[in-house]
Amino acid sequence: MSESGSNYELVTVGEARSQLSISRTLIYSLMERGELPYVKIGRARRIAQDAIRRFIQKNTKGPRS
C-alpha cells in the first residue's frame, strides 16, 4: 500500500501488451519514451493498471467531423 492508501495493481509487460493489443517492440518503445510509465523491480518491469487506463484515455480520439 502506498502512503496515500492506494493499492497498485501491477501487471507484467506481456499482460499489458495483451490488454493494449500491441507488439513487444511498441510497448518497450512507449515505456522508454515515457508514454507508458512502469516500475522496475529488480530486472523485471511492471506496469500499473492505472497507467494503462490513463494511456488509453489519453490516446482515445473522438469522432471526426
CA distance 11 to 56: 15
Which of 4-8, 46-50, 56-60 is predicted least confidently?
4-8
Give the model confidence (pLDDT) of 3-41 as tens digits: 555 668 999 999 999 999 999 999 999 999 999 999 999
pLDDT at 65: 66
* Predicted TM-score of the model (pTM): 0.81
Contact 28, 38 (CB under 8 A): no
Instruction: Measure Cα distances from 60 to 20, 25, 39, 63 in Å.
Output: 12, 21, 24, 10
CA distance 30 to 45: 13
The residue type found at 64 is: R
